[in-house]
Every structure is written in C-alpha cells, then in structure tokens.
Amino acid sequence: MRRDRRGFSLLELMVATAILGIAVAALLGGLTDSLRSASRASEYDQVTVAARQKMEELLVQTLLPRFQTIEGKFSATSGWKARVTPFDLPPQAAPGAAVLDRIALEAWWMAGSTRRSFTIEGYRRGYLLPEDFAGDVLRR
C-alpha cells in the first residue's frame, strides 16, 4: 500500500535555503556598492555646483590679481583655488591693452582620507594693469 506523499524532503529544503542565502548575500553586496557609489556621486555633484557658482563670480569680478593663486573654501571638507593669466597677449602689450584672461579653477574635496579634485576653465575680456608688468611677469 502506497501513500501519496506531498511536500519536500529535508534535503530539498536545505538546498533551497542555501541557494536563497547565496542570492540574498550577493544582492546585499551589490546594494552596498550602489550606496557607496551614490554617496561619491553626491559629493562630486555638490562640489561641481559650488565650483560653477564660484567660476561665475570670478568671471564678473573686474579686479582679480593676475599670476597669483587665490583660494577659499566651500565647506569644511571642500574648497577651491584659482589663477588668472592672460591667454593671448597682444604684440607690444602695455598697460590698458585688452587681453583675453583665462581663469583656471581647481575644486577639491575630501572623500574619506583621499583628496579628490577637478579643474574647470573660464575666459573673459580684461585689461592689462601696470602691476601686471611688475617683475617682468608678462615677458616670461
């Protein structure tokens, strides 16, 4: 006499549980990596927005010193430094001559213990000042 046995054996349940456990572990590992990547992207996005705003401010300022590094902070863990240099000097450059200024802005932030950075550039019209010729900087 044979009875119909329905259900799973203990061995089948153990194998199914092991497979499910491996799948869940892999899924959680991927989720952790995704969250870490999202955090890094968020930091980068915040510094990018701040750097663009700073570049816009620098582009409209008329009296930025040339050939000197200026710097500041966005927050306790991020900041910037910029340098203004003439991009294209006219022949026989003299005070009052129009030039195309290049503003190179480096934005940085701390990602844990690692310093990360990127550089953006902007250009604007400017005029040479007598102090731009101090120490013959324009001739170098």
Task: Judge whether 132 lies within some domain.
Answer: yes
Q: What is the pLDDT of residues 57-99, one digit of tens each?
A: 999 998 888 889 999 999 999 999 999 999 888 777 888 888 8
Could you list the residue range(s) of the whole structural domain that residue 116 is in?
10-139
Task: Judge whether 62 lies within some domain.
Answer: yes
* Separate counts of helices (H) and strands (E) for the chain: 1, 4
Task: Judge whether 127 lies within some domain.
Answer: yes
Task: Judge whether 3 lies within some domain.
Answer: no
List the one residue out of 120, 129, 101, 135 whose CA is nearest residue 47: 120
Task: Judge whether 64 lies within some domain.
Answer: yes
Residue 124 β-bridge partners? 101
Separation of alpha carbons 71 and 127, rounded Å: 22
- Name the domain count of the chain: 1
| 0.85 exceeded by pTM | no
Task: Judge whether 23 lies within some domain.
Answer: yes
Task: Judge whether 48 lies within some domain.
Answer: yes
Task: Judge whether 5 lies within some domain.
Answer: no
Q: What is the pLDDT of residues 23-66, one digit of tens each?
A: 998 888 888 877 777 666 688 888 999 999 999 999 999 888 88
